[in-house]
């Protein structure tokens, strides 16, 4: 066997992890959740790989996790019969901050921010959480299919260094032994440990075994060897995939724990939707909306890490099965399980698949149903507000991308408006319509690069004067959004900065359509000779810079403002396009 090698954790990693586990997670028992979650993932991976290569089972198809303990050695062990790791995988994966971008993100935080539990608490420390309860951790593992002498022993006290060496390991999979610190010796009690294990494993699809809880020995002088071999194990969890169980049998807490398992998130989800379809196609969806936006939309969202897990008849097939949801719902996490697909499907095959398309349509409907329900929950308005703050900008893309559901998504939109003049986006289009002035037909909005710019736009003056609400759009995507949303419930959406205005509210309906007419009537009042001279001078001076210079009724206190022609590109979009280099 190879010599023992001493290696260092990547700079900062162990220091950061240590700070995280000691300052943030007061609930130490979550290390079991992390280790069981990893074991379950490893078994999922083995079962998937074995679809192509049955030899990986090495003649032993039993898939399970075993949690055991030794009161004398003061150790706790979690062992699985999953895929295992080779030497390279161990050094690459174990005791590092796995989540892409997390390390960079944390490294950028200032000292104050680093101790902010709220901020740090959203990053999981995964495997490393074992050091919350242990002074020393040993990990033995062997990759499925590799020879017995290619086992690996990894050992560390979590302080900055670890050792690795090649060992003999007859069985495939991973075994993690924690040498418990003094404060956590109570974990060595079967009853207590069992309670914790059950809490974090009831939603796991594979059996989790623990020693049978025997009565404490009353007789002395027992044969030591007989005692060793007498340890019997029993399954302590339900060991059926959570999503296959009926909703009424699943506790809220199980749904939450399952979410943390599939998403690798450390916080509870905001909401979820669980449903089974049993028609021509048979499938189950369990979809969650996280409570907060990932710290880095780009690495987490674009990489779609831990998005949707695809299962086929309870067998894990792949992570990040993005073809089951459109891009604008990329914040959704969870599981889809199909009875109709075959086990050996490729990503390419799924992209073009009829079954997938049908499942996707249903999944979108479920998510929109769930969001509508949340938006309608008037008893807990803060929940939808939280959702909107985190994912509103992403959902808005749906108005642009999803013709079929545009109307439904439009109802879910929230904006800030001159009604409250507050930056919080809490006005729905329906709210706006309800508050429209008598005779008002259109929904007015202004777009700008910031809330303050929108709020202080000179275009608003006349609207404020007349008491007409204007939506204050200041999100980058808003410009495209309104371009794809010409109307809401038969009310045209119009920019206060474009073309002519029609604010003659008392007038007959057809004033709306008589665009050319109204331009002359409302927009261009007779200019006096004096003013006409000024206009000529302005036109001369500005030359090619402008299309026209007109007298306007828009303004009540500002002397002038820029307006885009009704067919033209708005000035805000113009700015965005110019930034994008077009
Ligand atoms: P995460 O699970 O979010 O990736 P962890 O720190 O929990 O982060 O685990 C890091 C990596 O170590 C896993 O992604 C996996 O590749 C590997 N790993 C951890 N535990 C096991 C295990 N029991 N069997 C095989 N691989 C494991
Ligand atoms: Mg993990």
For residue 97, the ligand 1 atom closest to its alpha carbon is 6
**Is 100 one of the annotated binding-site residues?**
yes
For residue 306, the ligand 1 atom closest to its alpha carbon is 3
What six digits make up the tokens of 389? 């703050």
- 484-496 pLDDT per residue, tens: 999 999 999 999 9
Looking at the predicted structure, is the pLDDT value of residue 1 above 60? no
pLDDT reported for residue 354: 95
ipTM of this model?
0.99
Between the CA of 98 and the centroid of ligand 1 the distance, in Å, is: 8
pLDDT reported for residue 96: 73
Looking at the predicted structure, is the pLDDT value of residue 200 above 80? yes
pLDDT reported for residue 528: 76
This prediction has a pTM of 0.83
310 DSSP β-pair partners: 318, 336
- Please answer whether residues 208 and 67 qualify as being in contact, where contact means their C-beta atoms are separated by less than 8 angstroms: yes
Between the CA of 102 and the centroid of ligand 2 the distance, in Å, is: 14
Between the CA of 35 and the centroid of ligand 2 the distance, in Å, is: 7
**Is 174 one of the annotated binding-site residues?**
yes
For residue 125, the ligand 1 atom closest to its alpha carbon is 6
* CA distance linking residue 442 with residue 162, whole number of Å: 67
For residue 45, the ligand 1 atom closest to its alpha carbon is 25
Could you give phi then psi for residue 42, rounded to 5 degrees? -65, -35
**Mean pLDDT value across residues 444-464:** 93
* CA distance linking residue 424 with residue 560, whole number of Å: 29
Return the minimum-mean-pLDDT range out of 123-127, 338-342, 419-423: 123-127
Between the CA of 127 and the centroid of ligand 1 the distance, in Å, is: 6
What six digits make up the tokens of 224? 């030591």
Q: Is 28 left (phi over 0), alpha (psi -120 to 50) or beta?
A: alpha
- Please answer whether residues 300 and 294 qualify as being in contact, where contact means their C-beta atoms are separated by less than 8 angstroms: yes
Looking at the predicted structure, is the pLDDT value of residue 101 above 80? no
The pLDDT confidence band at residue 446, using thresholds 50, 70 and 90, is very high
- 500-509 pLDDT per residue, tens: 666 655 444 4
Higher-confidence residue: 566 or 426? 426
Helix axis angle, 190-201 to 252-263, nearest 10°: 70
C-alpha distance from residue 543 to each of 142, 241, 575 (Å)? 77, 71, 21
Between the CA of 506 and the centroid of ligand 2 the distance, in Å, is: 64
- 10-57 pLDDT per residue, tens: 766 777 777 777 777 778 898 999 999 999 999 999 999 999 999 999
Between the CA of 247 and the centroid of ligand 2 the distance, in Å, is: 26
Nearest residue (CA) to ligand 1, atom 10: 93
**Is 347 one of the annotated binding-site residues?**
yes
Between the CA of 114 and the centroid of ligand 2 the distance, in Å, is: 22
Nearest residue (CA) to ligand 1, atom 15: 93
Nearest residue (CA) to ligand 1, atom 11: 93
Looking at the predicted structure, is the pLDDT value of residue 580 above 70? no
Q: Which of 82, 98, 101, 176 to mutate to test the pocket of ligand 1 (most atoms within 8 A of CB)?
A: 98
Nearest residue (CA) to ligand 1, atom 18: 38
Return the minimum-mean-pLDDT range out of 99-103, 222-226, 260-264, 349-353: 222-226
For residue 173, the ligand 1 atom closest to its alpha carbon is 24
Return the minimum-mean-pLDDT range out of 58-72, 331-345, 378-392, 485-499: 485-499
Instruction: Write out residues with Cβ below 6 Å of ligand 1.
Output: 34, 38-39, 42, 80, 82-85, 93-94, 98, 124, 126-127, 174, 264
Q: Which of 46, 93, 143 to mutate to test the pocket of ligand 1 (most atoms within 8 A of CB)?
A: 93
Nearest residue (CA) to ligand 1, atom 13: 93
Query: Between the CA atoms of 31, 37, 42 and 43, what dihedral angle is there, to the nearest 10 degrees?
Result: 130
Looking at the predicted structure, is the pLDDT value of residue 317 above 60? yes
For 76-134, the DSSP string reads EEEEE-S----HHHHHHHTTS--STTHHHHHHHS-HHHHT-HHHHTTS--GGGGGGGTE
Return the minimum-mean-pLDDT range out of 114-128, 141-155, 203-217: 114-128
**Mean pLDDT value across residues 384-399:** 95
- Angle subtended at Cα 402 by Cα 399 and Cα 405, rounded to the nearest 5 degrees: 85
């Amino acid at each position: 066997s190879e010599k023992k090698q001493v290696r260092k954790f990547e700079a900062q990693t162990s220091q950061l992890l240590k700070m995280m586990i000691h300052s943030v997670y007061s609930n130490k028992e979550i290390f079991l959740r992390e280790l069981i979650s990893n074991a379950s993932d490893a078994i999922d991976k083995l079962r998937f790989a074995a679809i192509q290569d049955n030899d990986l089972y090495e003649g032993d198809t039993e898939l399970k996790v075993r949690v055991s303990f030794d009161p004398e050695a003061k150790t706790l062990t979690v062992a699985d019969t999953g895929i295992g790791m080779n030497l390279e995988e161990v050094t690459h994966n174990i005791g590092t901050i796995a989540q892409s971008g997390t390390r960079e993100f944390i490294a950028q935080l200032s000292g104050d921010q680093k101790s902010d539990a709220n901020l740090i608490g959203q990053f999981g420390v995964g495997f490393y959480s074992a050091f919350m309860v242990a002074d020393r951790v040993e990990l033995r593992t062997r990759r499925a299919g590799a020879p017995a002498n290619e086992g690996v022993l990894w050992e560390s006290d979590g302080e900055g260094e670890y050792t690795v060496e090649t060992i003999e390991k007859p069985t495939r999979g991973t075994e993690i032994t924690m040498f418990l610190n003094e404060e956590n010796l109570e974990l060595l009690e079967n009853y207590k440990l069992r309670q914790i294990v059950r809490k974090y494993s009831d939603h796991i699809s594979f059996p989790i075994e623990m020693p049978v809880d025997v009565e404490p020995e009353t007789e002395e002088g027992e044969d030591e060897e007989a005692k060793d071999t007498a340890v019997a194990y029993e399954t302590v969890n339900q060991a059926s995939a959570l999503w296959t169980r009926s909703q009424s049998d699943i506790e809220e807490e199980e749904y939450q724990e399952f979410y943390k398992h599939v998403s690798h998130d450390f916080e509870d989800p905001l909401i979820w939707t669980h449903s089974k379809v049993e028609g021509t196609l048979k499938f189950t969806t369990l979809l969650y909306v996280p409570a907060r936006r990932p710290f880095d939309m780009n690495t987490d969202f674009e990489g779609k890490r831990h998005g949707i897990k695809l299962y086929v008849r309870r067998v894990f097939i792949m992570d990040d099965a993005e073809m089951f949801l459109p891009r604008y719902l990329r914040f959704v996490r969870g599981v889809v399980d199909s009875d109709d697909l075959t086990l050996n499907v490729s990503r390419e095959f799924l992209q073009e698949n009829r079954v997938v398309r049908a499942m996707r349509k249903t999944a979108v409907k479920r998510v929109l149903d769930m969001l509508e329900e949340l938006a309608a929950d008037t008893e807990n308005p803060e929940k939808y507000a939280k959702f909107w703050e985190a994912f509103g900008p992403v959902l808005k893309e749906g108005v642009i991308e999803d013709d079929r559901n545009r109307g439904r998504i439009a109802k879910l939109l929230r904006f800030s408006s001159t009604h409250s003049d507050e930056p919080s986006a809490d006005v729905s289009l329906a709210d706006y319509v309800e508050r429209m002035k008598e005779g008002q037909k259109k929904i007015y909005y202004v777009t700008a690069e910031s809330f303050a710019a929108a709020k202080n736009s000179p275009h608003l003056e006349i609207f404020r004067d007349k008491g007409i609400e204007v939506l204050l759009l200041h999100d980058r995507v808003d410009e495209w959004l309104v371009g794809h949303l010409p109307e809401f419930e038969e009310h045209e959406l119009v920019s206060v900065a474009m073309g002519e205005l029609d604010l003659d509210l008392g007038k007959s309906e057809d004033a709306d359509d008589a665009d050319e007419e109204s331009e002359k009537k409302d927009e261009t009042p007779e200019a006096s000779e004096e003013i006409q001279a000024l206009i000529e001078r302005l036109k001369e001076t500005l030359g090619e810079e402008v299309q026209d210079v007109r007298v306007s009724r828009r303004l009540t206190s500002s002397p002038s403002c820029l307006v885009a022609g009704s067919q033209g590109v708005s000035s805000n979009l113009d700015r965005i396009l110019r930034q994008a280099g077009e």
